[in-house]
Structure 1
């Protein structure tokens, strides 16, 4: 019997890497007749260094995330993906994407784009994709290629 995924989460942040993951996640969700969960985590650690933080930055980030997710949802439905939902969370993306959202939402496959970090950046801060691979309890698919399984030209040197 073939493995069928029921709920596929794709982490999106507006980056080119996330766009590749989203494109492939739509296809995997349709092949599995699965729900596609679009997840965006607003990294609140970035706001901690702003001394005059009064909530305006978080509101702006939330509004941008909502617009991004609505665009992805519209695109997924136009592509034929009927079961699409979205979630916005706040905090450090690593544990939210690897553990909390999958546990809370019953996710059985996580799809995310490969990071654009270079070797030095990965050494000091680590990538979200590396963390998710190590800590997720469900299957994880890291997307590196486009729908034709080719590395995008703008990503070849990373």
Structure 2
């Protein structure tokens, strides 16, 4: 059986696991001559817990996401991937990745790390990767190990 992917979405949050997912996505994109879509979701749910919306924190989160994705874009292009896009969105990563963005970009493979930065949320309500696996309409590859 041969699997062919043309649009790959990689969920990036700055964690070690998402970096492993990114590294493996490069090899998969090269094998498939696929477009690589790097996405970071700034989780706005955390702002609802704060009484006064701190604009400076939101701007820092956005800058971190943009800088991180642009670094990864340069690395992917240097590896030989010609179609690399970056996207910073705001909302819940659990719904945006597998439902909104995957549909909008006609994604046929989502790659994510097994765990991310938010271990407290994972303990109480489940991980983002678990939600992606349950709700995605396309293939999902959850990365647990470093590149080999």
TM-score by length of 2: 0.92
Greater Rg over alpha carbons, structure: 1
Maintained 8 Å contact 1:36/1:85: yes
In terms of mean alpha carbon deviation, does 100-109 or 47-56 score higher?
Answer: 47-56
* Unmatched tracts of structure 1, length 5 or more: 149-158
Cα displacement string for residues 72-124 of structure 1 (whole angstroms, at most 9, x for unaligned residues): 10111111112100111101110011111000111000000001677x96452
1:49 aligned partner = 49
State the aligned residue count: 147
1:155 aligned partner = none
2:129 aligned partner = 129
Counterpart Cα distance in 2 of 1:17 and 1:3: 24
Cα distance change of structure 1 residues 131 and 2 upon mapping to structure 2, 3 Å threshold: same
2:65 aligned partner = 65
Is 1:7 the counterpart of 2:23? The answer is no
Counterpart Cα distance in 1 of 2:64 and 2:121: 26
Cα distance change of structure 1 residues 79 and 89 upon mapping to structure 2, 3 Å threshold: same
Report SS of the residue matched to 2:82.
coil
Report SS of the residue matched to 1:41.
strand
1:91 aligned partner = 91
Is 1:147 the counterpart of 2:119? The answer is no
Counterpart Cα distance in 1 of 2:66 and 2:59: 10
Maintained 8 Å contact 1:47/1:57: no
RMSD in angstroms over aligned alpha carbons?
A: 1.8
Q: How does 1:100-111 map to 2 (within 5 A)?
A: 100-111=100-111
